[in-house]
Each structure stands twice: as C-alpha cells, then as structure tokens.
Amino acid sequence: MEWREDGGVRWLRAELDGACAAFSTRLGGVSEPPFDRLNLGLLTDDAEENVIENRRRLAAALGFAPDQVVFARQVHGTDLIEHPSGLREGDGHVVREPGPAALVFVADCLPVALAGPRGVAMVHAGWRGLAGGILAAGAEAVGATSAAIGPGIGPCCYEVGEEVMEAFSSLGEGIASGRMLDLPEVARRQLALAGVERVEPAGLCTSCEEELFFSHRRDQGRTGRQGGLAWVEG
C-alpha cells in the first residue's frame, strides 16, 4: 500500500488484481471534535451537513462523483449486496464493472477488499462478520485472487472475551496472546483458507494511531467513521 493525498484528504491506496482499494483517514474533512475531521458516518452525533461534505471530499479526491459511491446500513452480519441494487442493509458489496465504488464504514473493524476475475468485493469485517464467514463469501463471489486488509484495531489493543476467542479456535495457535486477539491475522488466515493467493495488510492499529484514525473502543463510542472503498479499474 502507499499513501496518497489530495486537497488535504489522505488515504492508503492498494492495487489489487484488476481493481483498486482506498482506506481513508480522519484527515481532510470539516467535522468538529470529537468527529474531527473526515467523519463519514451519518449514524453518529456529527452534523449531517458535515458528513455529506466529508463524503463529497473523499469521493472527489478519489476521482468519483458522490452518486458513484455505493454503501448501506451495516448490521455486523454477513450479507453481500451486489450492485446495482436497491438493497440498503448489508455488510459487504460486490461490484463487477467499472463505474461504482463500494464503501464500508469502520472505526476498529477491518475494511477488507477482495478482487478477482468476477469483480471486487468490499466488506466490513468485525469479529461477528469474520466468524460468520463474510470473507469466504466475498472471495467466492468474485473468485478472489488478491485482497487488502485495511487499518483496524490491532492485537495491542483488542482485548476480547471467551466467546470471541472460541469463534476462531479452529484457526490454531498464534491468533491471540492471552485475551488480546489479532483480528488482522484472523482475516489473513481466513483469506488463505478461501484460496486468496495475495494478501496485503495495512499493519496499522486504529486505536493506537489517534492522529490518523477514529476508534470506537479508544473513544468509548463517541467518534467518527473512516471508510474502505473498492472499485474495478476501467
């Protein structure tokens, strides 16, 4: 991945097989604390007009019109929405042709882009989605050969209970130290099991990197949302 910046908006760009992904930061927007600055989440206490302007700025920086960016209300599930679609609830998107950019909102969960000969999938992968198989579903949908794991909470900061640990026990040793779960490593192993040959992780913890990212856990729920976007190259 490499850093990109345009008009004060800063993001990480990943090159996938026939597709691209971008992972936004909190830099470059108009929102006031505690949602400063590029908050993309309407379901926060931020002013709606600020969020809409932030989304416009991010889309413009990436070369898209606002109406080209597709998204949905996320419910920590495993449903994928294939676009074009009128569905408005789900935690992953599948895009098969150039034109739209699929967006998921995150603030510790992992944004994961998967690409293959049948298009690109962009998924919101928290522990429930990972346990439910959302990465395998995304990989199957597009025949994924490459993936990018965006910034999310790292093993340094993600303490979990026995229920969460048990959900990933089949992945073997090395996914946790005590109760500190390595969510990106869980995703990497699940992608490998799904046959994804090339996986690039961002290696950045949203909880640690306060200047760059919103974090639901660090900020005790009162925070903004960054995004993960993916699109098929024209």
Contact 143, 16 (CB under 8 A): no
Contact 113, 122 (CB under 8 A): yes
**Which domain CATH number covers 187?**
3.60.140.10
Phi, psi dihedral angles at 136 (to 5 degrees): -65, -40
CA angle 229, 66, 200 (to 5 degrees): 10
**In sequence order, which residues have a C-beta less than 8 Å from that of residue 22 and are 6 or more positions away?**
4, 11, 12, 13, 14, 62, 228, 229, 230
| CA distance linking residue 28 with residue 228, whole number of Å | 16
CA atoms within 13 A on the CB side of 206: 31
Contact 37, 28 (CB under 8 A): yes
Q: How many domains does the chain have?
A: 1
Domain that holds residue 79: 2-232
Q: One digit per residue, pLDDT tens: the chain, 234 residues?
A: 999 999 999 999 999 999 999 999 999 999 999 999 999 999 999 999 999 999 999 999 999 999 999 999 999 999 999 998 878 899 999 999 999 999 999 999 999 999 999 999 999 999 999 999 999 999 999 999 999 999 999 999 999 999 999 999 999 999 999 999 999 999 999 999 999 999 999 999 999 999 999 999 999 999 999 999 999 998
DSSP β-bridge partners for residue 149? 112, 201
